[in-house]
Amino acid sequence: MRELAGGMDICVTSRMEEALTQLRTGGGDVLLLDLAHAEASRSAEAEGPAVLLAAAGGRREIDGLEVVPLDEVDAGSLFRTLRCATRRGESERQYRLMFDRHAIPMWVASDDNRFLEVNEAAVREFGWTREEMLSMTIRDIYPREGLAELDEAIAKGRPDFEVRGSGSAGIQKYRRKDGSTFLAEVTWTWIPFRGRSAALVHAANVTDRVKAEEKLREADEIWRSLLEHSTDIIFILDRDFRVISVNRTAGDIPAERMIGRVIFDFALPGRREAVRHLYEKALRSETALTYETMGYGSNGQTAHYETRIIPIRRDGETVRLMLLSADITGRKLSEEDRRAQGREWEVLASLGMKALAGAPMKEVLEEAMLRVAQVLDAPFCKVEEACAGGRLEPRAGHGWGTQAGEAPAARSLERAALASREAVVVVDFDDETRFARGPVFEAHGVLSGIAVAIPGTEGPWGVLGAYFGRRRGFAPHEAAFLGSLAKLVGALVKR
């Protein structure tokens, strides 16, 4: 044997464990096994390359291992076989090092979904030891709610990586040892592994990325809701005062024709410089400004617009300007009404930006109640969620004290608002025949109020209302303000 090996060092042992120890510790490069030990060669392949020696029978393969017949081999051919096996072993050791040290969790799985090998990143991510994972199946790392779907896929012969070749299983939800879960983007490749076909799986943790994408989608929904339901024209400008977006047509000018244009192009020629001065002032001072001007209206006529310029800040710097522009031509609004409407839109814009910034829902609702109380001079207001059994549960409020949690009367203003597409108003409960005042309203001396439904995914989510201790009528812009705020809350609660 030493002569056939061409002078290569040969360590002879009669025990498989001793041979494997030599491979693990670097005391050997390739393992020569008698054909009688073919079954043991599978465990040997986990530690390094192996070559089977047979008395006769011709060169062949068993489970991917080369079988060398001693009666047909000379020193040169055996040396070349061992040299090839040694090089293959070095290549496999380098690959094993890359597999073990890879930052992304990886594992090798068999056709019957058992773990054959796992890397260090998988051990860190899942929390089980390597030995524990090698005694487990893929089913053990799925959360309870995902097992039915996995079992159905396995029963059909199509688990998430059961297709030969390579591909992606998309986003999968996995379970750690401590019971926590994470989302991973899963790809696989089928490879030969220890004489069998197996799946090499990459599972990159994308939980933070998915949450960020979901947050962006929610913010986009809130913003689209504001644009869709606004009664005013809403522009977003860059720092060069060019239109980035606009929610609808202004006068006879289609919205798409405004994109990319400087906003001053849509002011009447004699007013452009004055308008430019106001926009530059808002950008420099970083404070909201309101102005009235004449501009292009419908049918080639001029129109009177009231516009509020609101700086949008990021990282302490104004990066955009938002314009809320109302066509007030033909209106007969008092000065107080116009000021009130400006305050209402400022509240909507402020709350909308707070929601877009990802503020917690409870914080946004509580601020909304405080701002409603200020803008409408309402001593009482609240947001209630429609719950099972017909209950209305308060989620935020102002002015109620310890009685805020009491349920409204069965025949109440709030319940009527749930069933209506418009604001429901009571000018004076003493003259009201449709609704009962209820014990909470009685205790607080509520005499009038206005309530609107908060839209949900499937029917109304709840009710938003403002209530007063005096007889009071409500202007259309006040009902529109509460309606817009209710739609904003509806978009927010989808989170």
Per-residue pLDDT, 73: 54
Task: Tell me, yes or no, whether 226 lies in a domain.
Answer: no
Listed residue (125, 118, 126, 124) closest to 100, CA to CA: 118
Residue 314 backbone dihedrals phi, psi, to 5 degrees: -145, 125
The pTM for the full model equals 0.42
CATH number of the domain residue 427 falls in? 3.30.450.40
Same domain, 487 and 364: yes
Same domain, 182 and 66: no
The packing angle between helices 335-356 and 476-493, to 10°, is 0
Per-residue pLDDT, 4: 45
Number of domains present in the structure of the chain: 3
Same domain, 367 and 457: yes
161 confidence band (pLDDT: 50, 70, 90): very low
Per-residue pLDDT, 91: 54
Tokens of 29: 């490069």
Same domain, 376 and 463: yes
pLDDT digits (tens, 9 = 90+) for 422-464: 899 998 888 888 888 888 888 899 999 999 999 988 889 999 9
H/E run at residue 469: none
Long-range contacts of residues 137-146, Cβ cutoff 8 Å, at least 24 apart: 137/112, 137/113, 138/109, 138/113, 138/114, 139/113, 141/174, 141/175, 142/173, 142/174, 142/175, 143/173, 143/174, 143/175, 143/181, 144/175, 146/173
Task: Tell me, yes or no, whether 464 lies in a domain.
Answer: yes
Question: What does the pLDDT average to over 9-35?
Answer: 54
pLDDT, the chain, mean: 78
Same domain, 429 and 492: yes
Same domain, 58 and 190: no
Tokens of 311: 């700086």
Range of the domain at 432: 359-495
Per-residue pLDDT, 21: 61
- Find out whether 366 and 383 touch, Cβ atoms under 8 Å: no
Listed residue (261, 264, 230) closest to 248, CA to CA: 230
Per-residue pLDDT, 398: 92
Task: Report helix, strand or coil for 234.
Answer: strand
| Confidence check: pLDDT of 159 > 70 | no
Same domain, 36 and 152: no
Task: Tell me, yes or no, whether 73 lies in a domain.
Answer: yes
CATH number of the domain residue 159 falls in? 3.30.450.20
Last residue in a domain, options 161, 181, 205: 205
Same domain, 374 and 448: yes
Task: Tell me, yes or no, whether 471 lies in a domain.
Answer: yes
DSSP character for 163? S
| Confidence check: pLDDT of 258 > 80 | yes
Per-residue pLDDT, 18: 61
Task: Tell me, yes or no, whether 86 lies in a domain.
Answer: yes
Same domain, 451 and 381: yes
Task: Report helix, strand or coil for 139.
Answer: helix
Listed residue (97, 39, 26, 91) closest to 65, CA to CA: 39
Using a pLDDT cut of 90, give the percent of the chain over it. Answer: 26
Last residue in a domain, options 205, 231, 259: 205
Per-residue pLDDT, 223: 74
| Most confident option among 74-78, 103-107, 472-476 | 103-107
Per-residue pLDDT, 55: 47
| Confidence check: pLDDT of 295 > 90 | no
Task: Tell me, yes or no, whether 218 lies in a domain.
Answer: no
- Find out whether 121 and 100 touch, Cβ atoms under 8 Å: no
Per-residue pLDDT, 464: 95
| Confidence check: pLDDT of 52 > 50 | no
Same domain, 136 and 191: yes
Task: Tell me, yes or no, whether 430 lies in a domain.
Answer: yes
Task: Tell me, yes or no, whether 141 lies in a domain.
Answer: yes
Last residue in a domain, options 205, 223, 255: 205
Choice among 13-17, 186-190, 263-267 with the minimum mean pLDDT:
13-17
Same domain, 168 and 132: yes
302 confidence band (pLDDT: 50, 70, 90): low
Tokens of 39: 């079954």
Same domain, 382 and 475: yes
Residue 212's CB: how many other CB atoms inside 10 A?
Answer: 12
